Each structure stands twice: as structure tokens, then as C-alpha cells.
Amino acid sequence: MAHDDDHNGVSRRHALECMIWAGTGVLWTVSGGIPQSAGLLGSAQAADASAKGFTFLQISDSHIGFSKPANPHADDTLKEAIDHVKALKNKPSFMLHTGDITHLSKPEEFDLADKLIGSAGVDVRYVPGEHDVVDEGTGKAYMERYGKKVQAKGAGWYSFDQNGVHFIGLNNVTNLKAGGLGNLGHDQLEWLEDDVKGLADSTPVVVFAHIPLWTVYPQWGWGTEDSAVALGYLKRFGSVTVLNGHIHQLMQKVEGNVTFHTARSTAFPQPAPGTAPSPGPMLVPAEKLRSVLGIRQVEFKQSGSPLAVTDTALADA
Amino acid sequence: MPVKNATAVIGLAIAAAFGASLACAGPAGAEEVVVKIENFTFNPPEVTVKAGTTIKWENDDDIPHSVVEEATKFRSKPLDTGESFEMSFKDAGTVTYFCGLHPHMKGKITVTP
């Protein structure tokens, strides 16, 4: 699958040229403060790009604790994903986890997830999914474990800078309103507006949150109520990359200077929007599971070139 | 059953906080109505019951759901597959609720005297 990226109003210095979806992980390379090119995981191209800048990964929706037919061993597939990370010749600077670390926010689920993910030896920055905040304290356990470490505000939002790239982690899964979608809320939006105030327009921005920050399919709740307000604060930036999880499948969209991407789960797939009576774990034959969780490469080429998206099955990786 | 205990605790807490408008498990022989949670919907989404009826929500999905009153007057724990949550409704009125994990899922209970 590939589609054209006709947008060429902004210098491609500010655009991601290339990124990799490696099964459950995405390898990004950022050079000289600008998201640039990466190659296939472990490839010479990626190694070369890293020498100029840095790389990071995205994993998502590990759902530790899930054991239903769609994947009775969600811990095994997370381990496989982490094994891929460990095998990388080109060590990423850090890894983003875009939520649903656990299935039911149980301490033992968090413990196992930490053990498996921690074995990669890579610094991990998290945002919560709705499954991570169903403890009695509605997110207290998450904040204790992951929020404090990054000095997260409110229910878990924060930002950090890496080699000139500004990363913003948002929480759109707590205090959800009846009938609504994902929600950022007033306090978080105020914080965001303030957070980006001092940044130059040329600063590359990466936003990561669990539920998609664009409306993928509202009938299934796949969108964020007030994401337009957040994106409004980011409008002036030349390069904004939005990384989400939640829908357990790869999707992308380009809107102005903003590129949206959803990641695969490490646990189980979900149906494409509208192709089933409801969202939820999608059962595929066991031998096909790893092909569903397969590898995707997305390559951003130079301005004017088409945006190339290449899928490779994890089983073939 | 942990679920029942939780229900009782929530029921008592609610009863204390809201002038006993909602009570825990109803008297023996009181009516029980089951609302299935399936395919990301409360089924039936709207029920009309007599005061004193216990509603039992049963999750048949392979994903957890919860039952949260619109103004969070009550909130179930996350219900994994096969788990259930019960609450009795003592006073006439309307109760609207949703799933705390998937808020597009909504339901309504009309309690008649």
C-alpha cells in the first residue's frame, strides 16, 4: 500500500523522510534535530542515519493480562517484539509506549510488562491507555509507576526534548464523558498551549497519545473529542508527527504539516473500521497471528516523491 | 464473590452519600433484570423496571467494560469477560450510564414506582 503525499509547502528538512514499522515497533531516525530518514530495523541505512542523529521506537497496546482466543499469550508476543528491539544493531535512544500496557491495570500485569519491556535495556516513555487507568484510584497506579518518573502533570501529560525535537506525551483516556470519544480536557489543553509557547516554529514536534488524535471512526469511539484544540496550538510548527495506538492497526493521514500514524498492537489485531459489528479483539488463525502483527515500513522520501508504505509480515522478518 | 462484595460496598457508599436513593442487593424475591454487554453495546440499551429491581450487567465481550453512572454516582470495577456487576434501584427516576473504557457505549434505566 502506498499513497501520494502531495504536500510540499514545507521544506522536507522538517519532514520525516522515512520511518519503519517493525512488526510491533516503529523505528524513527532523527538527524541534526530534524526527523529524517531511517532504514529497516538493523539495516545499514538505519545505522548510518543514527550516526547523524538518533532513533526511537514506538510499541503499543501490549495488553499484558489478555489471554482470550485472539491471543492467549500476549506476554509471548510482547517478548518477541522486545527481542526484535534487543537485536537492533542500531540502539534507539528511547522507546515510546502508546498505552494499554496492561489489560486490567493489575499490579502483576504492570510488573510483568515492566519485566518484559525493561529487558530491552532501552529507556521507555509511556502514556496511558484506558486499560491502564481502571485501578481503584483511576490511574493512580499508572502515575505512581510511570508518571512520576517523567514528572508528568495532571493525569499524566508531559514533554521532553531530544536532540532538538520536542516530544509531547498526552493522556486522552481519563475522565471520559458519556457518549464521547477520547478526551484531553481543559487543564491538559491549557498546559499544552503553554508548553509549546516558547518553541520556534521550526522545532520538530512529536505528539504521542493512546487514542488517535484524529477522528478515525467515531461510531467505535476512535477519535478524541477535543483534539482539534490541541492541533490548533501546533498549527504553526513546520513538522508535527502524531503517534497513537488504541486501534491495533496501522493507519496514517496527512493534514497540512501534521502526519498522523497509528501503531499495531503487540497483543491482538482489531477489525478495520466498520468491517465488524464492533471493535475488539479479532480472532485470526493462530498461524496467521504473527503475520497480522507483521512489519510495516513507511518511507517518507524527498519532497515531491510519493509516501511509500511497505508491509512485511513479522513472520517473514 | 469479589464482584458481589464490591457491589455491596459501592451500594452502601452510594446509599450513604445519596440519602439511600440507591440500595445494595434487593430483598429476596425481588426482580432481577439482566443487561448483557456484547459487541460494545448494552443490550438492551434501555430498560424500564419497577423500583426495587436489581440490574445485573454481564460482560460477554472479550474485552473489559465497566458501568459508570453519567455523573459517576456509581461506577463498577472493570468487568472482564464473564464477570458481572449488580445494583438495585430503589427510587423511581431515570439513570443514564456509560462504559468508562468505551464511553460511546451508553445505556438508560427507567425506574417506575
Domains of chain B: 2-112 (2.60.40.420)
**CA of A95, closest CA in chain B: separation in Å?**
25
Total residue count of chain A as it appears in this document: 317
Residues found in chain B? 113
- In chain A, what percentage of residues exceed pLDDT 90? 58
For residue B43, the tally of other CB atoms under 10 A from its CB is: 14
Find the CATH number of the domain harbouring A130. Answer: 3.60.21.10
Classify burial at B16, counting beta carbons within 10 Å of its beta carbon; exposed 0-12, middle 13-18, buried 19 or more.
exposed
**Distances A155 to A137, A229, A242, A317, B15 between C-alpha atoms, Å:** 11, 18, 20, 37, 29
Total number of domains in chain A: 1
**Percent of chain B predicted with pLDDT > 90:** 71
Minimal Cα–Cα distance from B6 to chain A, Å? Answer: 11
Q: Which of B39, B62, B104 sits opposite A179 (nearest CB)?
A: B104
Judge: B78–A134 Cβ closer than 8 Å, yes or no.
Answer: yes
CB-based contact B62 A69, cutoff 8 Å = yes
Helices (H), chain A: 44-52, 74-86, 107-118, 140-142, 186-195, 227-233, 289-292
Q: What is the mean pLDDT of chain A?
A: 80
Asked whether the beta carbons of residue A180 and residue B103 sit closer than 8 angstroms, the reply is yes
Give Cα separations from A176 to A136, B41, B69 (angstroms): 16, 17, 12
Cell output for A36: 529524517
| Rounded average pLDDT over A290-309 | 43
Q: What is the pLDDT of residue A85?
A: 83
Task: Give the model's confidence band at B35: pLDDT under 50 very low, under 70 low, under 90 confident, else very high.
Answer: very high
Q: Is B63 on the interface with A (CB under 8 A)?
A: yes
Instruction: Kindly list the residues from chain A whose CB atom is less than 8 angstroms away from the CB atom of residue B78.
Output: 104-105, 134
A202-259 pLDDT, tens digit each? 888 889 999 999 999 999 999 999 999 999 999 999 888 899 999 999 898 999 988 8
pLDDT score for B7: 42
Over 50: is that where the pLDDT of A31 sits? no
* A86 vs A28, higher pLDDT: A86
Cis? peptide before A273, omega within 30° of 0: no
Interface of A with B (CB under 8 A): 68-70, 103-105, 130-131, 134, 136, 176-181, 218-221, 277-281
Amino acid sitting at position A203: T
- Minimal Cα distance from A129: which residue of B? B101
CA-to-CA distance for A126 and A81, rounded, in angstroms?
A: 16
Distance from CA of B105 to the nearest CA of A (A): 6
Q: How many degrees, rounded to 5, is the angle at CA A305 between CA A301 and CA A306?
A: 90
Å from B18 to nearest chain A CA?
Answer: 21
Whole-model pTM: value is 0.81
Residues of B in contact with A103 (CB under 8 A): 64, 80
A219: chain B residues, CB-CB within 8 Å: 104
Cα separation, A41 vs B105, in Å, equals 40
pLDDT given for residue A53 in this prediction: 56
Q: Which domain holds residue A133?
A: 2-316
Which of A19-23, A283-287, B32-36 tops mean pLDDT?
A: B32-36
B16 vs chain A: nearest CA distance in angstroms? 19
**Residues of A whose CB is below 8 A from B39:** 277-278, 280
Chain B residues in contact with A131 (beta carbon < 8 A): 64, 101
Cβ–Cβ below 8 Å for B101 and A280: no
Percentage above 70 pLDDT, chain B = 73
Tell me which chain B residue has its CA closest to the CA of residue A223. Answer: B104
